[in-house]
Amino acid sequence: MKRLFPLLLAVGLLSCGAFADSFKQSARSVDRFDFVEVTLTLDAPATGKPFVDAAFDGEFKPDHAMALKVDGFCDSDDGRLFRIRFMPTVAGKHTYSVSFRNGGRELRHAGEFTARAGKRPGLVRVDREYPAHFIRDGGGGRFFYNSTTAYWLLGFKDDAIIRESIDRLTRLKVNRIRVALSGRTASGMRWKEPMIVSNDDFQYRLEPWPAARPLDIENPGYDVSRFNLDHFRKTERMLAHARGRDLQVSLIFPLDVADKGVDPFGKANMGNADEQRYYRYCVARFGAFANVWWDLINEWHLCRDEAWANKMGALVKQWDPYDHTTSIHGTGRFPFGKSPWVDYVMFQSWDEHGAYDFLLKARNDQAAAGRPLPIINEEYGYEDHYPYPWGGKRVWPARIAEDRVRLVWEMTMAGGYQTTGERANVAGMGGWITGRGNNEMTMLAGYGRMRMFFERFDWWKLEPRPDFVTGESKALPVIEGGKPIAAALCLAQPGGRYVVYLRQGGTATVQLANGAYAVERFNPRTGQSVKLAAATGGAPWTTPSVPDTENWVFLITKASH
C-alpha cells in the first residue's frame, strides 16, 4: 500500500470535532509510467448519487508541455472518498490542479510532483515507422506481441491464484493477456467445457455493478447508478501485479453481452448515459496503469452495431488522456480499419481459415486502404477445444498444442500476430477460460520459443514475400479448400535478412539478393539452432534437407548485416 504524503490542503473549518475536507498526495516523486494519486476525503458524504451527481477531475502538466485532462472517480459507497491519478510519461517537474463539484459545493486543490526517468517500461503503441508492428514508449524498444486468453481471471476469489497465474504466463514469455471486466454465466458448459465449474474458489460472475440478486445468473438486478467497488479494487490489484511483471492486460469492458444477465443496457439503450458512465469510470480508474489496453466489447456483432462501436471508441479515446492501445473484438470481418480510435485490427477467424492466407490478405487490404496497422487474429481455436455441435468435423487431434503452434508460425510469417488459448480440460485450472495452467500444459512453451527466435533480430523490418520462395514437401496434401498449399513461406528484408518456414519438411528455393549469407536452421519444437554452410546470393538458393517432415525454420542473414 502506498504511503500517503502528509496533508497538503484542508478546505473548510473543523466543526464539532469533525474533520475538514482534505486532499492528500501519494508521493512527491515517482518514476515515469507510475502514477501519483490524489485523494479527497469529504467531511460529509456527497449529496445525491455519488457516482452520478459528483464530479472530480483535473489536469496535470509537465514543464514545457501541454496539460492533460484527467477524470477522477468515487471510491466509497457513502460518497466520502474520491481519487484521481496522474501518470507522467516524461521526466521532470509536473504541476496539477483538481476540482470537486457536487450540488452547490465546489473544492479546489493544486500541487506538484517530480517524475524520475526510472526504468519502468512505457505504454505499447503502434510503431509509426513500421505501423504493422508495436513499439514501447520511453525508448523501450519494439514489442513482439505474444498473447493468450484469460477471460475469467478475475473470477478467482483468492488474489494469490491470480498472481500465480500471471507469474506463470510471464515465465512462458506471454506478454499480453485478455481479461474480462464484466460477464456472467452458469458454468463452463456455456462453451461445452465441463471441467471448470463454479465453487467456493471460483465464480463465473464478474459484476461491475451491485447486484440485488447476485446468485441469479440471468436476472441479477444490477444498479447501474453505482459500482461494485470490491470488483474494481481486485482488478487494480491484478493490474498492479501484471505491471510489475511487464505483462500487458487487454481489458474487455463486457464479455459475451448476448448472454442473459450480462448486459443491463441492451440494444435499446446501448450507448446511453448509464453505459457511458461505466466505460468512463473504467478509463478513470484503470487508465493510469501503463500496461492497460482497451477492448470495447467481445463479439460486437452479436449485440451491438457499427455506429455504437464508433461512438464508444471515440468516447474512450476522448476520456483517456494517455491514449492506450484500443480495438474491438468481433469476427472475420473488421469494418473499423479507418476509424481514428482503432489502433490495431482484431479478428476472430478459426483454424486454417484465419492463418497465413487470411492474415496476409487482411494486412495487404489494410495497407491498401492507406492506413497500415498491426493485424491480429485474437481468437482462432483454443487448444483441445472441440465444442460439439459447434466443432463439426473438428475432432481430436485437430487442435492439439502442436497444431496451434504451427498456426502461430504461419500467422507470424504473414506479418501478423495472434492471441492463443490453453486447454480448459484440466480440473481446477481453466486454461483459456481462467488464465490458469500447470506443467501439464506445454503449448505456450512453443509460442515462447517463437518469440525468442524473432526477438534475436529486427523482425519488424521484414515483410511477407511469398514471391521470393517456392517449396516442395511430399508430406503436404495437394490442395486445401481448393487451393494449392504453399510448402514454404518467407519473410524478408531483401538483401539483408530472410526467414524461411517449411510447413512440413522438404526444401525451399529462395531468391536471395547478391552477397554472402550466414545460414541457421531453427527447430521450433526444441528451440535449438544449428549453423549451416554459408549461402551465396544472386541466384536461386535451395535450403539443405531437414531431418523429418515437421516444420522447420531457416534464418538467412547477409554477412555484413
pLDDT digits (tens, 9 = 90+) for 63-114: 989 999 999 999 999 999 999 999 999 999 999 999 999 999 999 999 999 9
Cα separation, 195 vs 365, in Å, equals: 41
> Do 9-116 and 463-558 fold alike per CATH?
yes
pLDDT of residue 19: 57
Map residue 240 onto helix, strand or coil.
Answer: helix
* Confidence tier at 478 by pLDDT (50, 70, 90): low
Beta-strand runs (E) in 401-448: 417-420
pLDDT of residue 162: 98
Amino acid at 502: L
The topology under which CATH files domain 463-558 is Immunoglobulin-like (2.60.40)
Residue pair 108/142 in contact by the 8 Å Cβ criterion: no
The 10s digit of each residue's pLDDT in 362-397 is 999 999 999 999 999 999 999 999 998 776 778 999
* Confidence tier at 46 by pLDDT (50, 70, 90): very high
Cα separation, 137 vs 41, in Å, equals: 34
**For the chain, domain boundaries:** 9-116, 124-461, 463-558
Cα separation, 504 vs 484, in Å, equals: 14
pLDDT of residue 473: 82
| Residue in the structure block whose three cell numbers are 487487454 | 250
Map residue 424 onto helix, strand or coil.
Answer: coil
Residues 6+ apart with CB under 8 A from 326: 293, 294, 295, 296, 313, 316, 317, 320, 341, 342, 343
Map residue 220 onto helix, strand or coil.
Answer: coil
Cα separation, 129 vs 143, in Å, equals: 13
pLDDT of residue 481: 61
What secondary structure, in 3-state letters, does 97-137 show?
EEEEEECCEEEEEEEEEEEECCCCCCCEEECCCCCCCEEEH
What secondary structure, in 3-state letters, does 41-56 show?
ECCCCCCCCHHHHEEE
pLDDT of residue 16: 37
173: left (phi over 0), alpha (psi -120 to 50) or beta: left
Tell me the CA distances in angstroms from 327 to 338, 423, 480, 499, one per residue in order: 12, 25, 32, 29
Residue pair 27/51 in contact by the 8 Å Cβ criterion: no
pLDDT of residue 472: 86
Other beta carbons within 10 angstroms of residue 162's beta carbon come to 25
DSSP one-letter code for 529: E
pLDDT of residue 2: 40
Degrees, nearest 5: CA angle 380-185-401: 30
pLDDT of residue 13: 34
Residue pair 86/56 in contact by the 8 Å Cβ criterion: no
pLDDT of residue 300: 96
Share of the chain above pLDDT 90, in %: 91
- Minimal CA–CA distance to 560: which of 492, 463, 495? 495
pLDDT of residue 480: 55
Residue pair 487/476 in contact by the 8 Å Cβ criterion: yes
| pLDDT of 7 strictly over 50 | no
Cα-Cα-Cα-Cα dihedral of 138, 140, 142, 147, to 10°? -100
Amino acid at 443: M
Other beta carbons within 10 angstroms of residue 440's beta carbon come to 10
Average pLDDT over residues 112-120: 97
| pTM score, whole prediction | 0.95
* Confidence tier at 479 by pLDDT (50, 70, 90): low
Q: How many CA atoms lie within 13 A of 80 on its CB side?
A: 10
DSSP 444-470: HHHHHHHHHHHTTTTGGG-EE-GGGEE
* Confidence tier at 344 by pLDDT (50, 70, 90): very high
Cα separation, 463 vs 407, in Å, equals: 18
Cα separation, 20 vs 40, in Å, equals: 11
Cα separation, 281 vs 285, in Å, equals: 6
Amino acid at 471: G
Strand partners for 553: 501, 522
Domain covering 9-116 assigned CATH 3.40.50.1010 in the classification: no
What is the CATH architecture of 124-461? Alpha-Beta Barrel (3.20)
Question: Average model confidence (pLDDT) for the chain?
Answer: 94
